[in-house]
């Protein structure tokens, strides 16, 4: 049997705030998004300023839509007495679980003014069809 010492009980509580730090950091760095819907479709808008179409990949698999991309931005300014250079690079991934009535085969994406808009059509409800059920002798 291992006895708990004061130091042993201190370390687990010390590390507790850092346990899910990677997940929290990735959520904080992920692009902001908002979702909405109407009777015809679901829409997801994701802020991607400075990201070009060629650097975005949208996939749909097993009820999830995933957006991956990479931001590459650089800025350079010069004068006779000063020089300024700034670069920002980084990749991101956002995944969204689709509702049960989303049509995974009808997903479109468009990028305008730094906002990627995903549109996912709602599947048409199956029409209730009446059918005769034969009754067998018992």
pLDDT digits (tens, 9 = 90+) for 58-80: 999 999 999 999 887 778 888 88
Q: What is the DSSP secondary-structure string of 21-64?
A: HHHHHHHHHSPPEEEEE-SSEEEEEEE-TT--GGGEEEEEETTE
Break the chain into its structural domains and give their ranges: 31-67+94-122
The model's pTM is 0.65
CB 84 within 8 A of CB 101: no
Phi, psi (degrees; rounded to nearest 5) at 113:
55, 40
- 113: tokens are 């003014």
At residue 17, the pLDDT reads: 62
From 34, 39, 42, select the one nearest 120 (Cα to Cα). 42
Return the CATH architecture of domain 31-67+94-122: Sandwich (2.60)
């Amino acid at each position: 049997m291992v006895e708990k010492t004061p130091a042993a009980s201190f370390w687990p509580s010390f590390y507790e705030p850092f346990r899910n730090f990677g997940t929290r950091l990735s959520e904080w760095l992920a692009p902001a998004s908002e979702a909405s819907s109407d009777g015809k479709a679901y829409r997801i808008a994701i802020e991607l300023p400075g990201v070009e179409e060629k650097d975005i990949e949208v996939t749909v698999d097993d009820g999830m839509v995933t957006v991956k991309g990479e931001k590459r931005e650089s800025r350079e300014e010069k004068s006779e007495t000063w020089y300024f250079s700034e670069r920002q690079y980084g990749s991101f991934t956002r995944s969204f679980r689709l509702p049960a009535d989303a049509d995974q085969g009808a997903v479109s994406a468009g990028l305008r003014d730094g906002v990627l808009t995903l549109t996912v059509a709602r599947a048409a409800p199956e029409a209730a069809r009446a059918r005769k059920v034969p009754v067998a002798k018992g």
